[in-house]
Amino acid sequence: MPELPEVETVRRGLQPAMEGARIMKADLRRKDLRFPFQKDFVARLEGQTVTGLGRRAKYLMADLASGDVLLMHLGMSGSFRVRNDDEKTPGKFHFSRNEDRAHDHVVFQMSSGAAIVFNDPRRFGYMKVIARNALDREPLLKGLGPEPLGNEFDAAMLARSCANKKTSLKAALLDQRVVAGLGNIYVCEALFRAHLSPRRLAATLATKAAQRKGVAGGAPTEHARRLVEAIHAVLNQAIRAGGSSLRDHRQTSGELGYFQHSFQVYDREGEKCLTPGCGGIVRRFNQNGRSTFWCLKCQK
């Protein structure tokens, strides 16, 4: 499933074609994706100008002039491509994850002359139109924690969220109520960079005194500070590298960037640890149904 950096990359790729443009036609080529489309889905989109294209966790959010918001989720296999009027110049971004046009399920014809095509072979993605003033009551968004790259997410907030938790540190970071948008890959990477074990108790991010006082009095340990810095670093690096769901048309198979060459621990089972002077080996184990990659020698 695409994680936060991939979704942010998709947002940046779609923004020039969608933001400020009007949705001239919304073409649904099936009745559902993961969920059925709303009966008034097309009517609420056609003729509306996209005033802004944002992101919340792993959701894309297109603000419409009507006061509605088009909520979009890529699911397991969903991706977008931008098709321009002149097929000889396909624009800066396109998707390369699936070329079977039989899975082009939604097409937005924009006044900019671009067609925004959503392709989803497994149909785990979904779209929904929601009134902006109802977003805080929307079940899909309700309860999401802070954005990991937002101003409010810091060591103190993470410590308060984890104080007295009896779960593992990795499980806590994957809990979208603790921090929104983190997935398995970047949690593994951040824990490695912070030299923290995925098995470590989440509560150890708060001082013992803070844990005795309860969540309201939470205070961060040095572990929490290192972890927040690592989360910021790995997400920003991945975003700068351009994600994997929306690609520059001119890239070749040898120019896949971050996802092929820069993981320090994820999917590197049996390889040497990249921490200078460590000498350990990257191991993999199953944790809460997900593969965890780590170095047991330098992650404590």
Q: What is the mean pLDDT of residues 141-148?
A: 94
The pLDDT, as a whole number, for residue 240 is 85
Q: Is the four-CA dihedral 228, 233, 234, 240 of positive or negative sign?
A: positive
Using 50, 70 and 90 to split pLDDT, how confident is the model at 116?
Answer: very high
Residue 164, pLDDT score: 86
pLDDT band at 174 (very low <50, low <70, confident <90, very high): very high
Q: What is the pLDDT of residue 85?
A: 59
With DSSP H G I counted as helix, E B as strand and the rest as coil, what are the percentages for the chain, rounded to 5?
A: 30, 25, 45
Of 9-13, 216-220, 234-238, the one with minimum mean pLDDT is: 216-220
What letter would DSSP give residue 89?
Answer: S
Model confidence at 94: pLDDT above 70: no
**Half-sphere exposure of 126 toward its Cβ, with a 13 Å CA cutoff?**
10
pLDDT value for 64: 98
The token pair at 23 is 């949705």
pLDDT tens-digit series, residues 191-207: 999 999 999 999 999 98
- What is the set of active-site residues? 2-3, 58, 290
pLDDT, position 88: 40
Residue 256: pLDDT over 50? no
Tell me the C-alpha distance between 247 and 148, whole Å.
24
Band of the pLDDT at 50, cuts 50, 70, 90?
very high
Give every strand in the sheet of 115-119, ordered side by side: 23-28, 104-110, 115-119, 79-83
pLDDT in the model for residue 242: 72
pTM: 0.84
Domains in the chain, please, with CATH?
Answer: 4-137 (3.20.190.10), 155-294 (1.10.8.50)
Mean pLDDT of 285-293: 95
Report pLDDT for 253.
30
> What integer pLDDT is reported at residue 15 of this predicted model?
95
Per-residue confidence band for 209, with pLDDT thresholds at 50, 70 and 90: low
pLDDT higher than threshold 70 for residue 86: no
Q: Rg of the Cα trace of the chain?
A: 21
Beta-carbon contacts of 43 under 8 Å, excluding residues fewer than 6 positions away, are: none
> How much of the chain, in percent, has pLDDT values that exceed 70?
85
Q: Where are the beta strands (DSSP E) in the chain?
A: 23-28, 50-56, 59-64, 68-73, 79-83, 93-94, 104-110, 115-119, 126-131, 247-248, 283-287, 290-294
Which residues lie across from 119 on neighbouring strands?
79, 104
Q: Coil, strand or helix: which one is 24?
A: strand
SS3 149: coil
What is the band of 71 on the pLDDT scale with cuts at 50, 70, 90?
A: very high
* Mean pLDDT score, 62-91: 82
